A and B are shown apart, each in its own frame.
Chain A
């Protein structure tokens, strides 16, 4: 009975993962190995049964297309570069924020954390739209810069990669700050005093003690920013230019403009595989720490 109930409890998350992760993934795999067709849904069936013969038709055309046309790999490369750049920026901005919150008086910490999370209470889409206004030719940012005489012509920020960076850094910063804060707030401050006592200056104490001890927070925060940023669609679509070629936009175009579901699925699979590598590495790292 006890055994049975334990299994029942454990099975809940497995059931959840199976239903909402594994089944959709299998469907995507199925579509990726089919061929595009003028039909509803727009792809061929993997199995055919005719005259008592069961034929299985697996096409690897979609994958071949991905490697034939350099556009796809280029989009892939761009996505990774933008995501990595944005992750680094998030880290550079988020680390001092998280550090300041973790060292603030205890009663202020929850307020400061709330301020970090507060923007997330508004819809993500609305916030990205707001940036379209802010960064536009006639937007508040350009008007301000012109009014203080820093520039005479409005800067072209919207519909460039710079706008994409700004959007991603803005949207994902809380995902960097929170794990870093959770890590930094647990640090034993006597270790810092011990380092000082042994003759270390402020900077040395930071690089030799605080930074290495916050490694796991840095990795966790970077994963939380990097992984969704690679597949990001909304921000490059709304803030990026027509030449901002990223994987999320390409998947969208294949699905809805070209109606080539197999190629879109193959692309999505490739993305999943590429992201699995850092996740597995992260897991290994966590285990090693324990």
Chain B
């Protein structure tokens, strides 16, 4: 599984043909702007995730791609063809719905055959395609069952088979794991990617679960209030968030309000009221002379927690342990600084019987010069 995943990520980088172009798409519901001037290019064969909270416009954008909503402005092009005005039943796009929307009065096989029958394919071909789809999702034994006789994971396989049966150019997934419990979720995420990869279909998915997006997608777009904040690979999004919203939305992060100090091509110095010492960042920062206020962001797993003061002149601070949680593989410490700000810090539990800091202990947090990022 892992080898196929790695291989897939590599070959994905090679595929650079644009399949889907979203061109300045906006959608208003009355006064509300659900989608705000979104432009995206999605490459052939990639899995692209729209990640955002509820009301971020990600579902509306997906519904525009499916044809259930018309954009107020902008256009959508699929494989060089403008599909903006095309009704859903004429688009070479299929969707796997949230909680699946399987037809309850039809058997598994009939559900999968439904789309093929709309194309008036000959009976033998419909049957052959249904059988190969059932085989693909390992549901051949359940062909005659009704949806209510299936488990959540089985329903998902059928829903996937149904949306892949017509060999769409674009597959849409709406909260694909929304109806599954956590354990099954991880299992199905990898299996879904495996199947999508096998078929080679381009896929746009919508999710509010960052772990799901990072597990499944080649690239992620972070959406907030109808607007795309950042597009990038999971690594990009996590390691180089471009603004506070993205930084806070994906994973946990510590933020310090700072003023820019010395600048050079190879380093930047920042001063923060919360910290007694300056922050030294090991890269230059393209500045805007007028606005010298920036935010320094460092993730909890990139900080060190020690009981003795570090020797360097920058990038550390003293604090007391306000709270901590033992999570097995690592512990999370909540350290209260002099300024009252609480900072999160991960401590890897590498030793079985180590002495770990406890409540009200004096501790020191520090970080390397390339551990954090400066954001606006």
Asked whether B101 lies within 8 Å of A190 as measured between CB atoms, the reply is: yes
In the assembled complex, A195 has its CB within 8 A of some CB on chain B: yes
CA distance A41 to B82 in the complex (A): 85
In the assembled complex, A64 has its CB within 8 A of some CB on chain B: no
Asked whether B101 lies within 8 Å of A196 as measured between CB atoms, the reply is: no
In the assembled complex, A212 has its CB within 8 A of some CB on chain B: yes
Quick one: closest B residue to A208, CB to CB?
A: B114
CA distance A127 to B193 in the complex (A): 66
Q: Which of A194, A198, A204, A212 contacts B166 (CB 8 A)?
A: A198
A204-B118, A212-B105 known; A194+B97 contact, CB < 8 A:
yes
- Chain B residues whose C-beta falls within 8 Å of the C-beta of A208 in the assembled complex: 114
In the assembled complex, A213 has its CB within 8 A of some CB on chain B: yes
In the assembled complex, B28 has its CB within 8 A of some CB on chain A: no
Binary per-residue interface labels of chain B (88-131) against chain A in the complex, 1 for a CB within 8 Å, 0 otherwise:
11100111011001111100000000110011000000000000
Q: Which of A191, A198, A201, A204 contacts B94 (CB 8 A)?
A: A198
Binary per-residue interface labels of chain B (64-91) against chain A in the complex, 1 for a CB within 8 Å, 0 otherwise:
0011100000000000000000011110
CA distance A204 to B119 in the complex (A): 12
Q: Smallest distance from the beta carbon of A82 to chain B beta carbons, Å?
A: 32
- Chain B residues whose C-beta falls within 8 Å of the C-beta of A200 in the assembled complex: 89, 114, 118
In the assembled complex, A209 has its CB within 8 A of some CB on chain B: yes
Q: Which of A191, A198, A212 contacts B118 (CB 8 A)?
A: A198
- Chain B residues whose C-beta falls within 8 Å of the C-beta of A188 in the assembled complex: 101
In the assembled complex, B162 has its CB within 8 A of some CB on chain A: yes
CA distance A208 to B89 in the complex (A): 15
In the assembled complex, A13 has its CB within 8 A of some CB on chain B: no
Asked whether A194 lies within 8 Å of B118 as measured between CB atoms, the reply is: no
- Chain B residues whose C-beta falls within 8 Å of the C-beta of A194 in the assembled complex: 95, 97, 101-103
Asked whether B104 lies within 8 Å of A199 as measured between CB atoms, the reply is: no
Q: Which of B89, B101, B162 contacts A201 (CB 8 A)?
A: B89
- Chain B residues whose C-beta falls within 8 Å of the C-beta of A204 in the assembled complex: 118
In the assembled complex, A69 has its CB within 8 A of some CB on chain B: no
- Chain A residues whose C-beta falls within 8 Å of the C-beta of B119 in the assembled complex: 199
In the assembled complex, A197 has its CB within 8 A of some CB on chain B: yes
- Chain A residues whose C-beta falls within 8 Å of the C-beta of B97 in the assembled complex: 190, 193-194
Asked whether B104 lies within 8 Å of A213 as measured between CB atoms, the reply is: yes
- Chain B residues whose C-beta falls within 8 Å of the C-beta of A196 in the assembled complex: 67-68, 87-89
Q: Which of B87, B98, B162 contacts A198 (CB 8 A)?
A: B162
Q: Considering residues B90, B93, B95, which has the most beta carbons from chain A within 10 angstroms of its beta carbon?
A: B95
Quick one: closest A residue to B120, CB to CB?
A: A199
Quick one: closest B residue to A213, CB to CB?
A: B105
Asked whether A209 lies within 8 Å of B103 as measured between CB atoms, the reply is: yes
CA distance A191 to B105 in the complex (A): 11
Q: Which of A197, A209, A212, A213 contacts B89 (CB 8 A)?
A: A197
Binary per-residue interface labels of chain B (166-177) against chain A in the complex, 1 for a CB within 8 Å, 0 otherwise:
100000000000
CA distance A22 to B118 in the complex (A): 54
Q: Smallest distance from the beta carbon of B160 to chain A beta carbons, Å?
A: 13
Q: Smallest distance from the beta carbon of B94 to chain A beta carbons, Å?
A: 6
Q: Smallest distance from the beta carbon of B70 to chain A beta carbons, Å?
A: 14
CA distance A39 to B96 in the complex (A): 77
- Chain A residues whose C-beta falls within 8 Å of the C-beta of B94 in the assembled complex: 197-198
- Chain B residues whose C-beta falls within 8 Å of the C-beta of A201 in the assembled complex: 89
Chain B 8-39 interface residues, beta-carbon cutoff 8 Å to A: none
A193-B97, A194-B97 known; A199+B89 contact, CB < 8 A:
yes
Q: Smallest distance from the beta carbon of A89 to chain B beta carbons, Å?
A: 26
CA distance A195 to B166 in the complex (A): 13
Binary per-residue interface labels of chain A (159-183) against chain B in the complex, 1 for a CB within 8 Å, 0 otherwise:
0000000000000000000000000
Asked whether A199 lies within 8 Å of B118 as measured between CB atoms, the reply is: yes
Chain A 127-170 interface residues, beta-carbon cutoff 8 Å to B: none
Quick one: closest A residue to B172, CB to CB?
A: A197
- Chain A residues whose C-beta falls within 8 Å of the C-beta of B67 in the assembled complex: 196-197
Q: Smallest distance from the beta carbon of B200 to chain A beta carbons, Å?
A: 20
Asked whether A191 lies within 8 Å of B103 as measured between CB atoms, the reply is: yes
CA distance A52 to B221 in the complex (A): 100
- 28 pairs, CB–CB < 8 Å, chain A vs chain B: A188-B101, A190-B98, A190-B101, A191-B101, A193-B68, A193-B88, A193-B97, A194-B95, A194-B103, A196-B67, A196-B68, A197-B66, A197-B67, A197-B88, A197-B93, A197-B163, A198-B89, A198-B114, A198-B115, A198-B162, A199-B90, A199-B115, A199-B166, A200-B114, A204-B118, A208-B114, A213-B104, A213-B105
Binding site for A on B (CB under 8 A): 66-68, 87-90, 93-95, 97-98, 101-105, 114-115, 118-119, 162-163, 166
Binding site for B on A (CB under 8 A): 188, 190-191, 193-201, 204, 208-209, 212-213
5 further A-B pairs in the complex, CB-CB below 8 A; given A191-B103, A194-B97, A200-B118: A193-B101, A194-B101, A194-B103, A195-B114, A213-B105
| 9 shortest interchain CB distances as A-B pairs | A198-B115, A199-B118, A190-B101, A194-B101, A196-B88, A199-B89, A196-B89, A197-B95, A212-B105
